[in-house]
Structure 1
Amino acid sequence: MVSERGLQVLRAIVQDYVDTREPVGSKTIVERHAFGVSAATIRNDMALLEDEDLIAAPHTSSGRVPTDKGYRVFVDHLAGLRPLSTAQRSAISTFLDGPADLDDLLVRTVRALSQLTGQVAMVQYPSFARAHVSHIELVDLGSGRIVVIVVTDTGRVSQRVGVIRTVLDDAGFTAAKTALRTAVTGLSLRDASVAVSALAADAPGAGAVADAVRELAVILDEELDTFRQDRLVMAGTATLARREADFRGSIYPLLEAIEEQVTLLRLMGEMVADEHGLAASIGRENEAFGLSEASVVAGDYDVPGSSARIGLMGPTRMDYPTNLATVRAVAHYLSRLLDEDENAR
């Protein structure tokens, strides 16, 4: 069983290894930390930590580095969240101030997180199961090309360019636009999709307008489907290449997970948050997802009627206290902005 001092030695090893990238020896711990005991005593504590698989020697006669299990103990019991500086909080506020819409806000969010932490940042789109269609706009670009714009009451704006074969005059185009708006405005996304599918299959009436409504309904249905799909906004992928030496093996599985997103969405969805809404999944804990070389830290953020997660992915040798604190601060700020936007409607 590891003593209280042994756990503090583990804390010192984690902190020093994260700061220096160098294995940590007993002499270094005595010099940098005020334990008030000899190097020989610290070596005994380190031997017990090694017996518990909390630290390991990467090379013979070297210092010690934390294992994945050691990082887990550190995160669960020893890593108090490091308060953000005034400059860091100001940077978050500046990054997220005045977004054009939800898409813009989430892009700003991951850029802020990545720049503040040096990790790959990701934010999950909130579930739009309770969102409603507040507006539909159609723009005729000519030659049958139509821009279909969907706006929800949660602030999400999305658009898709489609092509219809039916030729309409201005009056016909206005009539088709009115038919689509009448069919879906005010409905939940789920009900709107049902209504649009029905129009695509059998729009009422006959003639060019009915034909155009059917074609436009297909385009609109494809766009509504994107609202129901889980997806991530990400930033900072290039940091993996710059920090490749921090990974024990290949970073290819991480790059593949970033490209596919499905793996990261599953992982983030299965992480269990603590009482602060924060979660961490470390090294070998991610083996089932093919990401045993990486750690992921995440936090919950709220949007009216729903919630989602924001997180960071990087090597196991990461600054957990700062990264968790940054995730929590950005999640709180994001939740507040979304709540203010909802109340302003």
Structure 2
Amino acid sequence: MTQSRRMLVLRAVVEDYIRSQEPVGSTSLTKDHDLGVSSATIRNDMAALEDEGYLIQPHTSAGRVPTEKGYRYFVDRLATVVPLNEAQRRGINSFLSGSVSLKDALQRSARLLSEITGQVAVVASPSLAKATLRHVEMVPVAMNTLLAVIITDTGRVAQHGLAVDEMPVIDEVNHLSSAVNEQCDGLSLSKAGEKVRSIADSTGYEDVREVAKALADAFESMALDERANELYMSGASYLAHSRSLADLAPLFDALEEQVVLMKLMSNLSEESNASGVGVAIGSESHTPGLLHASVVSSGYGRSTNASSRHDTPTQEEGSVTGGTSNDPVAFVGSIGPTHMDYAATMAAVKAVARYLTAFISKSGPES
């Protein structure tokens, strides 16, 4: 018995169980797959796979179903993420290209992904800690207050009030703004804070030193603000159709734990495989409520091509070089049963991540 043939049997069992959600027997494998051996040989292979922990037999007379180990082997051998078909890609482009703001794009992405997969979709807003500064404007709004409008490379916009004891003349404020925009463009918010403090202490900025230090404080507080990461979720109603009532309560509890969910999916997207998609199956999530679920996640971020647009990508979704940046600013993910269609879910997650990468690369200030 060859190990390679045995693993072809495992793959066939996983594929059939994902499709039917019924235990798979040797007779159906012989009929539906060209494995080139008899039903008796396949039974022996399935017994060996059960002994090795890849399959389990729920009832003595029933066929077998994959274990976490079986699903893991299957997922790890999905060499490339099969791209979505042309109609699906056109649908994604059409739906997301109607977005009027970053927030709208994220909400639309969650809705779309849940509809494509029939599972729970989770989309995180770009992390300010990973964003870089694009532009800042400072405008006097009261006798002792300036409003700083801070725009990041991901299209996020934040407004901060800067309190001062004495309002400097507007030309000095504009002079400071120009220096900040020239010297801090492309820096992380924490690095921009350091640079602005350096500017404040340099010659020629004595009259706006107080403003500069208040702006540096604003940059640094943005970089540390964990609440700036919002989660957009859609498709929870699909769970009721695929889970037993006993499983639903802990699963909904897990979905409510947004900090835990964010950490899990963010780590998965950063530890993804060569195709840029990470998968946690059952207990691999180390989250009790997700014991009977699988999580698929991919990062989105700065485009590998500065000229990216949110038109239909010319590269295939399965392409590594045409994928999301190696420096994700947030993630897109899907949560479903362990018997989910992994290939289709990974393709959908990857595709939506690519479109969000293109969207934020193109987007200007958030509307």
User: TM (normalized to structure 2)?
Assistant: 0.69
Mapped to 1, the partners of 2:279 and 2:265 lie a distance apart of 14
CA-to-aligned-CA distance 1:65-84 (integer Å, 9 cap, x gap)? 11010001111225764442
Q: State whether structure 2 residue 113 is matched by structure 1 residue 91.
A: no
Q: State whether structure 2 residue 10 is matched by structure 1 residue 24.
A: no
The aligned amino acid for 1:62 is: A
* 1:235 corresponds to: 233
Measured at CA, do residues 193 and 261 of structure 1 come closer, stay the same or move farther in structure 2, by a change above 3 Å?
farther
Shift of 1:150: 1.9
Q: Is the 8 A contact 1:277 1:300 kept in 2?
A: yes
CA-to-aligned-CA distance 1:302-330 (integer Å, 9 cap, x gap)? 40586214332322111111112222333
Q: What's the secondary structure of 2:286's corresponding residue? A: helix
Q: Is the 8 A contact 2:297 2:349 kept in 1?
A: yes
Shift of 1:27: 3.0
Q: Which blocks of at least 5 consecutive residues in structure 2 are unaligned?
A: 305-324
Q: State whether structure 2 residue 293 is matched by structure 1 residue 294.
A: yes
CA-to-aligned-CA distance 1:64-106 (integer Å, 9 cap, x gap)? 1110100011112257644422221111111221544444434
User: TM (normalized to structure 1)?
Assistant: 0.73
Shift of 1:33: 3.1
Q: Which one has more relative contact order, counting CA pairs under 8 Å at least 6 apart? A: 2
Q: Which blocks of at least 5 consecutive residues in structure 1 are unaligned?
A: none
Shift of 1:181: 3.9
* 2:278 corresponds to: 279
Measured at CA, do residues 322 and 78 of structure 1 come closer, stay the same or move farther in structure 2, by a change above 3 Å?
same
Structure 2 residue corresponding to 1:316, chosen from 314, 338, 347: 338
Mapped to 2, the partners of 1:69 and 1:270 lie a distance apart of 22
CA-to-aligned-CA distance 1:265-323 (integer Å, 9 cap, x gap)? 5532562422x223322222222787443322233444058621433232211111111
* 2:350 corresponds to: 328
Q: Count how many residue pairs are aligned between Structure 1 and Structure 2.
A: 331
The aligned amino acid for 1:132 is: L
Query: Which stretch of structure 1 is more off in the superposition, 15-24 or 326-335?
Result: 326-335
CA-to-aligned-CA distance 1:110-166 (integer Å, 9 cap, x gap)? 3332221123233462676572241336595x9x999753213x1423235769799
Q: Is the 8 A contact 1:82 1:325 kept in 2?
A: yes
CA-to-aligned-CA distance 1:195-252 (integer Å, 9 cap, x gap)? 778999xx976xxx999x6997599457633678783643225146423339967314
* 1:125 corresponds to: 126
CA-to-aligned-CA distance 1:165-194 (integer Å, 9 cap, x gap)? 99x9xx989689758846744423224434
Q: Is the 8 A contact 1:129 1:190 kept in 2?
A: no
Mapped to 1, the partners of 2:273 and 2:5 lie a distance apart of 28
* 2:114 corresponds to: 114
Q: Is the 8 A contact 1:125 1:233 kept in 2?
A: no
Shift of 1:58: 2.5
Q: Is the 8 A contact 2:111 2:235 kept in 1?
A: no
The aligned amino acid for 1:224 is: M
Mapped to 2, the partners of 1:109 and 1:136 lie a distance apart of 30
Q: What's the secondary structure of 1:59's corresponding residue? A: coil
Aligned-residue Cα RMSD (Å) equals 4.4
Q: How does 1:99-110 map to 2 (within 5 A)?
A: 99-110=99-110
* 2:136 corresponds to: 135
